[in-house]
Amino acid sequence: MTYLSKNINSFSDDGFIDFGPILDKNKCSKLLEQVHNTREWSQNLFRSQEACLSDPQVKKTNPGKGICNLAENYDLDFIEKHPVFTQHLERILGSNYRILLQKFVVGVPNDWVPDWLKAVIEPQLVSNLGPYIKKQFRDVTYFRGIDYHMDLIDHPGTVGDYVTVYVYLDDVNGNMSPLHLVEKSHIFGATKFPHVILNDKLDSIEYGEDQESVRKFRKKILTGKCGSVYLWSSMTLHGTKPHESNLPRISLRYTIQKDPHQANTLVDQLIEPVRNRKAPSLMRDDIDLNSKNHQQLKFNKTLKK
């Protein structure tokens, strides 16, 4: 029996699929309840200002494969073996696709964030609050909002032969940092962060690899019901606005790679027009990644302001 959606073949053009609420709502709610019970979800998650200053920890503060990862404690077969999930991934990535990482991501309410830290993170949408979180709670990723980016930023020098799958475990409204996704934005291939973005409106955005190539794209704000699933390419721009709800948004995020031995998949078709534009070895130019001490120095300087 086939569970392929009618818009499966549009993936190579749009770089995105919205599956809607395909997952069992009760199983999503049960998983969410189990996650809620793992800790006190409050300001207690955060390190003190003194601790951050005396011992900055700016690297390796995110969950990894087999490393401090809460998602690996649960049976996720109701997601990963769902026929819609498996059949679409086989069509897009090949039959032997590989899950590189699954992790929980948490949109953090404003009242969780210590006052001293708000001044640090408000000037820009910091994608990872991990450095400010106590070590024992770093088994999920925390964020307040995320600037527009492409997931290829985590894999410099690659061709982008993988996708992101995102699962809402609860109803997500406009105040809960829903994903803002830019359809067809992969057409420029890999571009550096921060990206050239103009006129960010409710349903459209202007983006280009430089000022001269800027064009208008359709934007979707992914509010959705419990059990909703979304998939996008590694070169698709997306981000979120700051979290405004008093409730956290706890979701699941997957990074899934193509079967290297299978050709002519949909992700191959998506990549082909930009294959010669392989991701640069430096996917961001807002920080000096060649300086071993840059991030720590910037961290200390910001906190001491």
Helix (H) or strand (E) holding 294: helix 294-304
What the block records as the tokens of 289 is: 């990644």
Work out the mean pLDDT of the chain and round it to a whole number.
88
> CATH number, domain at 154?
2.60.120.620
Bridge partners of 222, per DSSP, are 179
The DSSP element (H or E) to which 249 belongs, if any, is strand 249-257
Higher pLDDT, 207 or 60: 207
Q: 3-state DSSP call for residue 43? A: helix
Residue 275 lies in a domain: yes
DSSP at 192: P
pLDDT on residue 59: 84
3 within domain boundaries: no
**Is a pLDDT exceeding 90 seen at residue 126?**
no
Residue 216 has pLDDT above 90, yes or no: yes
pLDDT for residue 151 is more than 80: yes
Question: Tokens for 94?
Answer: 């090949």
Residue 35 counted as domain residue: yes
Q: Where are the beta strands (DSSP E) in 110-259?
A: 141-143, 146-149, 162-168, 179-182, 196-198, 204-208, 215-222, 228-233, 238-240, 249-257
Q: Is residue 300 part of a domain?
A: yes
Cβ atoms of 278 and 190 closer than 8 Å: yes
- The answer, yes or no, to whether residue 114 has pLDDT greater than 80, is yes
Whole-model pTM: value is 0.90
> Do residues 266 and 9 touch, judged by C-beta distance below 8 A?
yes
Q: Supply the pLDDT for residue 279.
A: 57
For residue range 63-110, what is the model confidence (pLDDT) as tens digits?
999 999 999 999 999 999 999 999 999 999 999 999 999 999 999 999
Domain count, the chain: 1
Percent of the chain with pLDDT over 90: 70
How far is Cα 109 from Cα 269, in angstroms, rounded to an integer?
Answer: 40
- 227, 168 in Cβ contact below 8 A? yes
Domain encompassing residue 140: 8-304
